Amino acid sequence: MSFAIAIDGPAAAGKGTISKAVAAHYGFAHLDTGLLYRAVGAKVRDGADPVEAAKALVAEDLDAAGLRTAEVAQAASRVAVNADVRAALVDFQRAFARRAGGAVLDGRDIGTVICPEAEAKLFVTASAEVRAARRYRELLERGADVTPEEVLADVRERDARDTDRAEAPMRPAEDATLIDTSAMSIEDAIAAAIAAVNARREET
Ligand code: CDP
């Protein structure tokens, strides 16, 4: 049995937390596709060619230290506008989506480009201010030296680049369920996501 759940949305919307919880709830595998772009972005920052880095990516690269920094997030969103970089990462993501036993993929273009036939699609969002405040706390916990203003600027800049790019721009699939987590606790957001997926499971 394969069952794909696509969870898209802007920077720091809570996709990662929700995706992990949804995957654990159903016993599905989870792929954070942002890590693919972060791993390529980190290699490019270190001097690699973007397309070569994307083609040569291996699973262990996703475990590299330092991929969660704001600097690497910016590098990721810059390489993510490159159509050849995106193309090099498609097959891995599609194979993951169709693995036996079910899969949750989170990113920007899962429901629109990578897996438009996903059985369930969610678009998770929140106001830029709420997202930046959450990301600021996460980065502080990891010991990063950042200000709230810098984090908000990073979130806004990446949102604009991800939305305005020609290739696979970030947008909700027409049949995605929108979940605005601005005023929700993590528990409520997870419950809303599971309820939306259950509704789709009953339809399929
Ligand atoms: O964790 P956060 O939401 O801040 O970012 P991420 O999901 O790790 O993604 C980092 C960057 O990778 C994004 O700003 C996008 O530019 C890019 N990305 C993408 O283009 N397509 C995806 N499916 C996932 C990430």
> Per-residue DSSP letters for 66-88?
TTTSHHHHHHHHHHTT-HHHHHH
Tell whether the model's pLDDT for residue 204 goes beyond 80: no
pLDDT tens, residue by residue, 85-106: 999 999 999 999 999 999 999 9
CATH 3.90.45.10 fits 4-203, yes or no: no
Tell whether the model's pLDDT for residue 10 goes beyond 80: yes
Q: Is the CB of 73 under 6 A from ligand 1?
A: yes
Which residue's C-alpha comes closest to atom 25 of ligand 1? 34
Looking at the DSSP bridge assignments, the partners of residue 179 are 124
pLDDT tens, residue by residue, 40-90: 999 999 999 999 999 999 999 999 999 999 999 999 999 999 999 999 999
154 close to 168: Cβ distance less than 8 angstroms: no
Q: Is the CB of 162 under 6 A from ligand 1?
A: yes
**Residue 202 Cα to ligand 1 middle (Å):** 30
Stated as kind and residue range, the H or E segment containing 34 is: helix 34-45
Kindly indicate the confidence band of residue 153, based on its pLDDT and cuts at 50, 70 and 90. very high
Give the pLDDT confidence score for residue 1 in this predicted structure: 83
Which of the listed residues 37, 123, 137, 162 should we mutate to test ligand 1's pocket, taking the one with most ligand atoms within 8 A of CB? 37
170 close to 106: Cβ distance less than 8 angstroms: no
Tell whether the model's pLDDT for residue 203 goes beyond 90: no
Kindly indicate the confidence band of residue 202, based on its pLDDT and cuts at 50, 70 and 90. confident
Distances (CA, A) of 111 to 25, 106, 132: 20, 9, 24
CA 80 to ligand 1: nearest atom: 20
**Residue 86 Cα to ligand 1 middle (Å):** 12
